Amino acid sequence: MKKEKLLIFVGVIFLLMLMIMLINPAYRPTSLIRNDILKFTPIGMNMDEVLEVIEERNNWRIMTRSSERGYIYMKLPPGQREVGIKHISVDLGNSWYFWYVISSWAFDENGILIDVFVERPTAN
């Protein structure tokens, strides 16, 4: 009887965790988050339009915005890490404070979106 109750308890906890992971987009793979972001900020959109989309999201917080520096993507080789001429980086939110999700938009000299990056750096 105790074993059955323990299994039920573990099962309920597992289902709750699964529901939280499905509801909170921060748990989704970064490639899927990027695909969703590209649906409403497609390549070719201008910087002002991207800012409008960002401002419509109540839970997104602009971390950096620069018209003088491209996005620095550390996974690229040294000397090739700066993408674009301008960029915006946004905190999309966190997942139980274990990690957070950042999206960055890189723009060319005319403010046209050329790439989107989604990263999940470890929170401090």
DSSP-derived letter for residue 88 is: E
Backbone angles phi, psi at 25, to 5 degrees: -65, -15
* Distance in angstroms (rounded) separating the CA atoms of residues 102 and 65: 13
Q: Where are the domains of the chain?
A: 28-119
pLDDT in tens, 52-69: 999 998 778 899 999 999
Q: What is the pLDDT of residue 24?
A: 62
Distance of CA 106 to the CA centre of its chain: 14
pLDDT in tens, 12-45: 888 887 776 666 666 678 898 899 999 999 999 9
* Distance in angstroms (rounded) separating the CA atoms of residues 107 and 116: 9
Q: What is the pLDDT of residue 28?
A: 75
On the question of pLDDT at 50 being above 80, the answer is: yes
**pTM, entire model:** 0.76
pLDDT in tens, 78-123: 888 999 999 999 998 765 445 678 999 999 999 999 999 999 876 4
Q: What is the pLDDT of residue 124?
A: 46
The residue ranking higher by pLDDT, 20 or 46, is 46
Q: What is the pLDDT of residue 22?
A: 62
Which two structure tokens, joined as six digits, stand for 19? 């529901």
